[in-house]
Amino acid sequence: MKRCLTSLVVLGTLLTTTVIWACSVPVFRYALERWPADKYSAVLFHRGGLTPEQQKLISHFDQEGTIAQKSANVELRLVDLDTKPAPEDLALWKAQKSETLPLLVMRTPLPAPVPTGFWSGEPTEENISRLIDSPLRQNIAKQLIDGQTAVWVFLESGDVAKDKAARELLAKELKRMEKTLKLPEIEQADIEQGLVSVSPDSLKLKFSIVTCSRDDSAEQSLTQMLLATESDLKDFDSDPMALPVFGRGRVLYALIGKGINPGTIEQACRDLTGPCTCQVKDQNPGTDLLMSVPWEKLVTPATQDEKELPPLTGLTSFSNSDAEKTDSASMPQLLNKQAGSDSQATEKTAAKEAKQSNTVTGAVSTKASEGSTLTAESSGVAPVQYKIEFLLLVGSVVLVILLAGSYMLLARKQ
């Protein structure tokens, strides 16, 4: 009887999860539309009260603060060492081996590949500004929003010969992938359920490369961030790395040194362009980058030639009046330029379509040969899909209960 019940439960589970997991939308597009960027953890260690200047600085991490208005995926937590901090906080503090207070420690989204954090230092405006944004990150975001399948970050080793050979190989193979790979055919059911907001014919199969020097002071935070996406990347400081970035700034995994070869490059590209096998983001390899990008406002149900991101104004003006000036000079301009002269028509069309369809728009490291299967998670599934999933869930549970009950009644009569 136990075996029978177990089989029924497994059957019911498969019935309820098939629709939830099945998806024909390419991973890179699904991730762009439906995977919100995970939040970085900023931990501020201090003793006792903070000075007015320090309080003013950390206030910009609040929901209404400047950092939040810049849409940076980071959240701040204060740890007073004069109280009784949690054991994990105390361990994090000791791991810094620093007497500087207050001390800001930055970690990739938890559970972090590098638990001790990838950066620590004084909580100054300049430091925070470089942590939450940089020119190269803006460039990456701009290309992803414009429809690039993935942007490969080529992290130089400093060895000119090694870097040149690896980058040329990467460029050659990516061109080959653009010609040989084919995007999956998106099923009509997935389109009707709102799992993709653009016409399948408009999807691009296009890869690009951006180069990052480890000596570039403006990109030091990005370099440290990239090396913290896996636990052992810092051990390969003499080798070039290639890291594909897709979705809303998610780093898939790193190809390192000789790991940058035709086989591993092709595997990564196939992982990014294949259909989703489920909708659970956390079950996928990869780590999100810390970026100041209003993804929800920029990922629109229409392909556009170019989207402008907010200017890198930094955090040097943190007064309320300056913050208002920054917002009025960046975000409205961004949205106005994005909409163009036909913004009102677009809004009317979107509203009409929303009423009619009632839909919502949304590792392999150096050992890359191991391969990975990417899946996707829905952060905003259409109401129709919710109804289907709910009905399937209820139906499967009822089916299991009826079959189990019938079996028990028959067993009792015997």
How is the chain split into domains, by residue range? 2-19+383-413, 26-37+134-302+360-370, 40-132
Neighbours of 220 (CB within 10 A): 15
Higher per-residue pLDDT: 10 or 250: 250
Which residues, at least 6 apart from 185, have a Cβ–Cβ distance to it below 8 Å? 24, 200
pLDDT at 412 over 60: no
146-151 mean pLDDT = 94
| Residues listed for the chain | 414
- What's the pLDDT at 362? 37
Q: Give the mean pLDDT of 326-345.
A: 44
**Which pLDDT belongs to residue 244?**
98
- Per the prediction, the chain carries an average pLDDT of 77
Q: Tell me how crowded residue 111 is: count the other CB atoms within 10 A of its CB.
A: 8
Rounded to an integer, what distance in angstroms lies between the CA atom of residue 79 and that of residue 90?
9
Q: Are 150 and 205 in contact (CB under 8 A)?
A: no
pTM: 0.72
DSSP state of 367: T
- Cis peptide bond N-terminal to 26, omega within 30: no
Determine the Cα–Cα distance for residues 75 and 70; give it in Å rounded to an integer.
13
The two structure tokens encoding residue 191: 């389109």
The kind and range of the H/E element at 322 are helix 320-339
Task: Please give the Cα distance from 29 to 299 (Å, whole number).
Answer: 10
pLDDT band for 187, please (50, 70, 90 cuts).
Answer: low
Tens digits of per-residue pLDDT, 74-93?
999 999 999 999 999 999 99
Tens-digit pLDDT profile for residues 115-129: 999 999 999 999 999
pLDDT at 382 over 50: no
* Most confidently modeled range among 5-19, 247-261, 303-317, 329-343: 247-261
- Please give the residue that has the higher pLDDT: either 140 or 371: 140
Phi, psi angles (nearest 5°) of residue 153: -90, 120
Structure tokens at 119: 């950066």
- Within 10 angstroms of residue 62's Cβ, the number of other Cβ atoms is 11
Is residue 11 within 8 Å of residue 388, measured between CB atoms?
A: no
Which of 266-280 are b and which e, b meaning 16 or more Cβ less than 10 Å from the residue's Cβ?
bbbbebbbbbbbbbe
Q: How confident is the model at residue 66 (pLDDT cuts 50, 70, 90)?
A: confident
Contact 259, 366 (CB under 8 A): yes
What is the helix (H) or strand (E) element at residue 227, kind and residue range? helix 220-227
Task: Return d(Cα 246, Cα 83) in angstroms, integer.
Answer: 42
What stretches of 309-398 adopt beta strand conformation (E)? Answer: none
What pLDDT band is residue 3 in, cutting at 50, 70 and 90?
very low
- What is the per-residue pLDDT for 345? 42
Which helix (DSSP H) or strand (DSSP E) does residue 243 occupy?
strand 241-246
Task: Give the pLDDT of residue 138.
Answer: 97
DSSP three-state, residue 145: helix
CA 226 to chain centre: 13
Q: What percent of the chain has pLDDT over 70?
A: 62
The class (CATH top level) of 40-132 is alpha beta
Given the structure tokens 């003006």, which residue do they identify? 317
